[in-house]
Amino acid sequence: MRFRIGNGFDSHRFIKDKKFILGGVEIIYNKGLDAHSDGDALIHAIIDCLLGASNSADIGELFPPNDISLKNINSETLLSQVLDLINKKNYEIINIDCIIICEEPKLKEYKPLMIKNLSKILKIKEEQINIKTKTAEKMGALGRKEGLAVFTTCLLNNTDF
């Protein structure tokens, strides 16, 4: 197949005494995301959509949460490894679309920084990445500000065709 679509998802709880990193950008907030790695849910969801579109397992298989060598790892490192993996399979990224669901903090001002950082890591144009921020309208765990969730979709092109 020439074109392949992938979907990704990640969610993490907020915890105190940890930096809040999203899209490789430090977000000013009084909590961070609870995770084995740095907790960058945006990058984790992007990794999963790229792996899915390239038929390459999932993030938990490739980077197991019980692997001590991955403790507190910078998710940008993982994303670079996934980019290498999909490039070896002759896939190129056409676009990535992301939805971040989070009551607070408000992330609008961070979107350009996240897009710029992600485009640099993925070696694609900023115009190939879109990030939308939504709230949960105060419903459920996300609405109670217990954490956040991220959904991503990507389109890949197989350059072998």
pLDDT in tens, 16-38: 999 999 999 999 999 999 999 99
Question: How far apart (Å, rounded) are the C-alpha atoms in residues 95 and 145?
Answer: 30
- Helix 41-53 to helix 111-122 angle (10° resolution) is 40
Q: Was domain 3-158 assigned CATH 3.30.1330.50?
A: yes
Residue 138 structure tokens: 């105060």
H-only helix segments in the chain? 41-53, 59-62, 75-88, 111-122, 140-143
Q: What is the pTM of this model?
A: 0.97
* Amino acid making up residue 138: K
What's CA 41's distance to the chain center, in Å?
A: 5
Q: Which residues pair with 4 in a beta bridge?
A: 156
Q: Domain ranges in the chain?
A: 3-158
So what's the pLDDT on residue 161?
A: 87
So what's the pLDDT on residue 123?
A: 98
So what's the pLDDT on residue 37?
A: 93
Given a cut of 50, the residues of the chain with pLDDT beneath it are none
- For residue 81, give the nearest of 25, 125, 37, 22 by alpha carbon: 37
